Amino acid sequence: MIESTDFLVHKHFGKLLADKDVEILDPATGTGTFITELIDYLPKQSLEHKYKHEIHCNEVAILPYYIANLNIEYTYKQKMGVYEEFENICFVDTLDNTSFAGKQLDLFAMSVENTARIKRQNDRTISVIIGNPPYNANQQNENDNNKNRSYPAIDKLIKESYVKYSTAQKTKRYDMYSRFFRWATNRLNENGILAFITNSSFIHSKEADGFRKAVFDEFSEIYIIDLGGDIRGGDKTGNVFNVQVGIAISFMIKKETNNRLPCKIFYSSTPQLKTADTKLKFISDSKLSEICFEHIISDINHNWIKIKENDFEDLLPLVNKETKLVKHLDEEKAVFKLFSLGVVTNRDDWVYDFSESNIFDKMSFFFDEFNAERIKLIKSNISDYSLSNSIKWTRELKKQLQKDNKLILNKECIINSFYRPYVKKYLYYNKYVNEMQYQIPSIFHKNHDRNQVITYSFGKRGNFSLIVTDCIFSLDTYLPNATQSFPLYRYDKEGKRIDNITDWGLKQIQTHYQDIAITKIDIFHYTYAVLHNPAYRSKYELNLKREFPRLPYYENFQKWVNWGKQLMELHINYETVTPYNLTRLDIPLKDNQKTPKPKLKADKTKNSIILDDVTTLENIPKIAWEYMLGNRCALEWILDQYKEKKPKDPTIAEKFNTYRFADYKEQVIDLLMRVCTVSVETMNIIREMSESG
Ligand SMILES: C[S@@+](CC[C@H](N)C(=O)[O-])C[C@H]1O[C@@H](n2cnc3c(N)ncnc32)[C@H](O)[C@@H]1O
C-alpha cells in the first residue's frame, strides 16, 4: 500500500512520500505496522526529518499504543543506528478530534505531553492518510460495554453527506469504517490521498449509495482493489483478515482544481485468487501501475458494479424516500406512500416465544431485573459498568435506566407476530424492549387494527421473496436479508386509517389502462402478482437486490389482479387453508426411549419430512419444494424454526429454555400440511404466470 501511495503521490502531485511537506498520518495505527513499513521504505537521507516532523499516528487503545511506540522506535534505530524518541504518536480517539469541524477535543483528561502532541498534529497540513481502520460495520453487544460509541461531530458530517444522498431507508452509515472515511476526507488537505484497507461493502451495498455519491463528488480519482472474502455474502474465497466481511483497498485522490472533471473510478477484483495467502501475496507483490483496473462509470443511482442495462428506471416507482417525506399530496410520486423495515428487537431470545406463558415469565423476570438495577443505580450512583448481565441491555434500555423510568409488564404487549415465513411467534411488542420499531406503529396502530402488508426480502443475499401478512413482522423474517414492506393502509397519530396507495399511483394506473374502475385494492393485488412473476424477478434481479421494486404495466391487468388476489388469500390465511393430504407414518418408540428425538429434516429426494425418531410425513408433492423464500422453501422455514436449539442468551438458556418440539408436534404437522397446500397452489399460480408469457 505504501509503494502504491507513493506512486499516486508522484502521479498526481509530482512529489514522493520522502519529499518535504508531504505529511503522512495513520489515524488508527494499532501496533504501528504502516508506520514501521514506511520507515523501512523511506530513503535514509530523508528519514530523520520525516520521522521527527512529518509522520504522525494515533491510537486509542493503550496496549497497541505502547507496542506501536516500541515498534516504531525500534525500526528507526535498526535503520538509522541511533535511538530517537518518536514524538508524533498520540494517544487519542481520532474520531473525537474533529478540529476541522470546529469541534475541539476535550483535552482535560490528557497528559500535558499528549495534549501538546495532539495540538501539534492538528496544526499540520496532512497530505496522506493511510491506515487500516476498524472494519466492523455493525455495533457490538451492548452488554460488553465496548459498543461503538456515538461521535456527534463526525456523525453530523455523515448525516449531511453519506446519509443525505442515500435513497435507502436504512442508512447504516454510522459504522466505524464510514466514520474513518468521513474523518479522513475532511482532515485531508485540499490536495491529498487517502489510502485505506477496509470493509468492502461500500462498493456494492444499497445503503452505501449515498457514500458512493459523496466520494464521487469529493475526490477526483478512486482506485479500488476488491479483495473479496465476503463470507456472509456467499463469497467462498479466502479472507485476508480472516473475518466474515469482504475487504478492499482504496486509494482516493483529492485534487482541488478550478475546472474539475468528474471523478474517475478504477476497479479491480481478484476472483481468480481463491485463498487468503494468494491474496496477501498479490498485495505484497503487485505494483499499482501493473494492476489491471476497469474504468467504472457510475449509473444515475450511484451503483458502481454489476450494473445491468434494462428499463427498470422507466417502470412505476412503488416507493421512494421523497414520497414518504413530502407533506403535500401533489408531491407524491410513488404508488405507496409509507414503507418500513420490520421490528428489530436486539433481544429475540427474550421477546419472542412460541409460548405465551413463557414470554410472560421471561418478561416478568426481565422487568424485575431492570427495575432492581434502576433502584441500585439511584441509591449508589454507580456507572453502567457494573450493570447486571442477567438481562440483555441495549442503548434504548439504558436510556430508560438513566431516565429512571419504571418499566411494568403489560400483558397486552404480548401479540402474535410474523417471525419467519409461515412461522408466527408471540412478541413482546414494546418500544423500550424492541430496539427499533421503524414505521410499524403507523402500520399497526395501538389496537393493532387490521392491515395487510406486503413484506419482501431486501438485500443482496438469496433470491427476491415476498409474503403478505396481517401481523407485525420481524426485520429478520427473510434472514439473512432485511425485511422491507409496504402496507395497504397506514394510520395517523389519532388512529385514523388512511389509504397507503397514493392518488398519484391510482391515477397513473387508471390512465395507463384507460379504466377509472380500477381501485386501490386492485393495485395492491396487481403489485403482489407482478412481484411473484419469475420473468420479472429474473429480468430485474440485480435491481431488486439494491433498489426498491418498480411496477411494469402488463397486458390484461385484471388477470394479474386475480392472481394477486388468489395469492394473497392463500398467504394471509395459510393457517386455515385445507391441509394437504400427506401420508403420516408412525413407528413405535424403542423400548427404553421415553420421548422421540426431534429431527425436523426434509428429505427432498424421498419427498418426505422426518419429524422425529418415530414420525415421518411422506408423499410431499415435488412442486412444494420449489416455493422458495430466500434460501429455504416454505416447508424448510417451518422445520428450521421448530427445531430445539440452545438459546444464545445465557439467562434464557439457563432459566427459560422451555421449548420442546414434542409439545408442538401435532401443531407442526398440521402447519406443514397446510403450508404444503399453500406451496403447491402458489407454485401453480406462478406457473400459470410463466406460461402466459
Ligand atoms: C484494524 S486495527 C489497525 C491495525 C494496524 N494496521 C496494525 O498495524 O496493528 C485498528 C486499530 O484502530 C484503533 N482504533 C479504533 N478506533 C479508533 C479511534 N477512534 N481512534 C484511534 N484509534 C482507533 C484500534 O484500537 C486498533 O488498534
Cell numbers for 258, please give them: 478550478
Cell numbers for 425, please give them: 411467534
Taking the centre of ligand 1 as the mean of its atom positions, its distance from the CA of residue 137, in whole angstroms, is 14
**Ligand 1, atom nearest to 151 Cα:** 19
Taking the centre of ligand 1 as the mean of its atom positions, its distance from the CA of residue 223, in whole angstroms, is 23
pLDDT in tens, 634-680: 999 999 999 999 999 999 999 999 999 999 999 999 999 999 999 99
Taking the centre of ligand 1 as the mean of its atom positions, its distance from the CA of residue 25, in whole angstroms, is 13
3-state secondary structure (DSSP) of residue 548: coil
Structural contact between residues 319 and 339, judged by C-beta atoms closer than 8 angstroms: yes
Among protein residues, the one whose CA lies closest to atom 18 of ligand 1:
93
Structural contact between residues 197 and 28, judged by C-beta atoms closer than 8 angstroms: no
Burial label for 655, CB within 10 Å (0-12, 13-18, 19+), is: middle
pLDDT in tens, 329-360: 888 999 999 999 999 999 999 999 999 999 99
Sign of the dihedral through C-alpha 132, 133, 135, 141: positive
Distance between CA atoms of residues 481 and 460, nearest Å: 7
**Ligand 1, atom nearest to 133 Cα:** 10
State residue 102's pLDDT score: 67
Looking at 2.60.40.420, 3.40.50.150, 3.40.50.170, 3.30.465.10, the CATH number of the domain 2-296 comes to 3.40.50.150
State residue 523's pLDDT score: 98
Q: Which residues pair with 25 in a beta bridge?
A: 56, 129
Cβ within 8 Å of residue 654, ≥6 positions away: none
In terms of pLDDT, which residue wins out, 305 or 56? 56
Amino acid sitting at position 585: L
Structural contact between residues 163 and 210, judged by C-beta atoms closer than 8 angstroms: yes
Residue 145: pLDDT band with limits 50, 70, 90: very low
157-171, 364-378, 523-537 — which is least confidently predicted? 157-171
pLDDT in tens, 542-566: 889 888 999 999 999 999 999 999 9
Tell me how far apart the 2 most distant CA atoms of the chain are, in Å. 89
Cβ within 8 Å of residue 324, ≥6 positions away: 169, 334, 337, 338, 339
State residue 681's pLDDT score: 98
State residue 678's pLDDT score: 98
How many helices (DSSP H) and strands (DSSP E) are in the chain?
Answer: 23, 27
**Ligand 1, atom nearest to 31 Cα:** 9
Taking the centre of ligand 1 as the mean of its atom positions, its distance from the CA of residue 149, in whole angstroms, is 15
Distance between CA atoms of residues 78 and 2, nearest Å: 20
State residue 143's pLDDT score: 43
Write out residues with Cβ below 6 Å of ligand 1. Answer: 28-34, 58-61, 64, 93-95, 132-134
State residue 232's pLDDT score: 77
Query: How many other C-beta atoms are found inside a 10 Å radius of the C-beta of residue 181?
Result: 26
The vertex-549 CA angle with 545 and 555, nearest 5°, equals 130
Mean pLDDT along residues 144-152: 61
pLDDT in tens, 6-23: 999 999 999 999 999 999
94 has a pLDDT exceeding 90:
yes
361 has a pLDDT exceeding 80:
yes
Among protein residues, the one whose CA lies closest to atom 25 of ligand 1:
61
Taking the centre of ligand 1 as the mean of its atom positions, its distance from the CA of residue 60, in whole angstroms, is 7
Distance between CA atoms of residues 418 and 101, nearest Å: 45
Residue 693: pLDDT band with limits 50, 70, 90: low
Among protein residues, the one whose CA lies closest to atom 19 of ligand 1:
93
Residue 682 sits at φ, ψ, to 5 deg, of -60, -45
144 has a pLDDT exceeding 60:
no
294 has a pLDDT exceeding 50:
yes
State residue 201's pLDDT score: 87
Number of residues assigned to the chain? 693
Taking the centre of ligand 1 as the mean of its atom positions, its distance from the CA of residue 318, in whole angstroms, is 42
Dihedral (C-alpha) 211, 213, 216, 222: value to the nearest 10 degrees?
40
Mean pLDDT along residues 296-315: 81
Q: Which residues pair with 616 in a beta bridge?
A: 585, 610
**Ligand 1, atom nearest to 32 Cα:** 8
- What is the residue extent of each domain of the chain? 2-296, 312-337+501-572, 340-498, 583-691
State residue 447's pLDDT score: 61
Mean pLDDT along residues 44-49: 94
Mutate to test the pocket of ligand 1, among 37, 60, 69, 151 (most ligand atoms within 8 A of CB): 60
Cell numbers for 303, please give them: 451503483
Going by C-alpha positions, the residue among 125, 128, 190, 175 that lies closest to residue 1 is 128
Among protein residues, the one whose CA lies closest to atom 2 of ligand 1:
30
Cell numbers for 62, please give them: 493503550
Taking the centre of ligand 1 as the mean of its atom positions, its distance from the CA of residue 30, in whole angstroms, is 4
109 has a pLDDT exceeding 90:
no
State residue 307's pLDDT score: 65
Distance between CA atoms of residues 143 and 395, nearest Å: 10
**Average pLDDT for the chain:** 90
State residue 383's pLDDT score: 56
State residue 72's pLDDT score: 95
Residue 402 half-sphere exposure toward CB, CA atoms < 13 A = 9
- DSSP per-residue string spanning 420-483: ETTEEEEEE--TTTSSB-TTHHHHS-TT-----EEEEEESSSS---EEEESSEEBTTTTTTSEE
Taking the centre of ligand 1 as the mean of its atom positions, its distance from the CA of residue 324, in whole angstroms, is 39
Structural contact between residues 211 and 173, judged by C-beta atoms closer than 8 angstroms: yes
State residue 672's pLDDT score: 98
**Ligand 1, atom nearest to 93 Cα:** 20
Distance between CA atoms of residues 305 and 299, nearest Å: 9
Going by C-alpha positions, the residue among 200, 270, 289 that lies closest to residue 8 is 289
In terms of pLDDT, which residue wins out, 688 or 330? 688
In terms of pLDDT, which residue wins out, 352 or 137? 352
Going by C-alpha positions, the residue among 348, 477, 368, 482 that lies closest to residue 424 is 477
Mutate to test the pocket of ligand 1, among 25, 58, 59, 70 (most ligand atoms within 8 A of CB): 59
Residue 177: pLDDT band with limits 50, 70, 90: confident
Residue 306: pLDDT band with limits 50, 70, 90: confident
Burial label for 51, CB within 10 Å (0-12, 13-18, 19+), is: buried
Among protein residues, the one whose CA lies closest to atom 26 of ligand 1:
30
State residue 261's pLDDT score: 75
Cα distances (angstroms) measured from residue 156 to each of 160, 182, 428, 551: 6, 10, 33, 35
State residue 259's pLDDT score: 59
